[in-house]
Amino acid sequence: MDKGDRRRTPRLGSEPIPSICGSSSEPIAPPPLIRFHKPYGVLSQFTPEGRWRGLKDFIDLPGVYVAGRLDADSEGLLLLTGDGRLQARIADPRFKMEKVYWVQVEGEPDDAALAALRDGVRLNDGPTRPARARRLDAAPAIGPRDPPIRVRAAIPTTWIELAIREGRNRQVRRMTAAVGHPTLRLVRAAIGPYALDGLAPGTWRPA
């Protein structure tokens, strides 16, 4: 993809979160699927471990479970559901549900690097499947990370969008490193038809 093939970067706003609370005498059923904007430093589980926080600090709903994990040092969309079949469909790589990431990398990937990401790069556990990759005109409107990333003053950074249909351990980070551009910040923007769509970090709403 050449430099002319650039599209506008989605913006995240601060839309209100619908309430699902009823009266204290009524049992509250969780929605079938919720979207959560996971901040940096939060595990994809309710229980905290060591220096990492857990989901219970943000989500107080019984009977929902993570559908597709996201590393503690990554940010962005996390889906939770109480429907076992839906959970499996989202999380199981066999269903090949596309996952879209906004990735801040070190340096400025050229067309050859982007083409390599699209065609597949060789990792220590085998080559990756074809993917979609493009440069973003500007940083996504998601605000700074807390804590901020470490950058070197003499080396520029670039935001790219990478869409994959696999679920290997730390795959996106390994892919960008394989083409010479280590990942500095990783934000999952979408899983299949579900997107961040205005969610502020640390907030959730029914999908």
* Residue 170 contacts residue 178 (beta carbons within 8 Å): no
Phi, psi at residue 185, to the nearest 5°? -145, 135
| CB atoms inside a 10 Å sphere around CB 57 | 12
The separation between the first and the last C-alpha atoms of the chain, rounded to the nearest angstrom, is: 32
> Tokens in use for 57?
């600090």
Q: Among this protein's residues, is 57 annotated catalytic?
A: no
Give the 3-state secondary structure of residue 193: coil
Give the 3-state secondary structure of residue 176: helix
**Of the residues 71, 73, 83, 197, which is catalytic?**
71
* Residue 153 contacts residue 117 (beta carbons within 8 Å): no
Q: Mutual orientation of helices 171-178 and 111-119 as an angle, nearest 10°? A: 140
Residues annotated catalytic, as ranges:
71
